[in-house]
Amino acid sequence: MYTKKLLKRLKINSCNLAKLLIPASTILKADIKSPLKYNNATVYQQIISSIIYLLNYTRPNTSYAVSQLARFIAALGELYYRLSKQLLRYLNGTFKAGITYLS
């Protein structure tokens, strides 16, 4: 499964599980006060692009969270990184959920 491979690649496959994607009232803004380090920004971009793939094919329930996290991909802050990790922890706990296509 793509979700399990993603979590293993990012070394998050044995993390604590999260029950929520991100809090429903979360509205993110550009964060220039606490910018991410280059390595974390690259990982963040990989996380978002990988989750967009899941969103399009098997996990439409992640659309709000992903849209909020992808808005300011050029002005990332620590909060964005923490919320993307929370989203991955949610996916880890619900990796059996999603749309299945049968041929």
CA–CA separation, 23 and 99 (whole Å) = 23
DSSP character string of 7-75: HHHTT-TTSPP-S-SS-TT-------SSBPPHHHHHHHHHHHHHHHHHHHHT-GGGHHHHHHHHTTTTS
Entry pTM: 0.76
Radius of gyration, alpha carbons of the chain? 13
pLDDT at position 88 is 86
pLDDT in the model for residue 46: 84
- The string of pLDDT tens digits covering residues 48-97 is 888 888 877 777 778 888 888 888 777 777 788 888 888 888 888 887 77
Predicted confidence band of residue 31 (pLDDT cuts 50, 70, 90)? low
The pair of structure tokens assigned to 23 is 């809090």
Residue 102 pLDDT greater than 70, yes or no: yes
Q: How many CB atoms lie within 10 A of CB 55?
A: 18
What per-residue confidence (pLDDT) applies to 97?
72
Q: What is the pLDDT of residue 73?
A: 77
How big is the chain, counted in residues? Answer: 103
Contact 80, 28 (CB under 8 A): yes
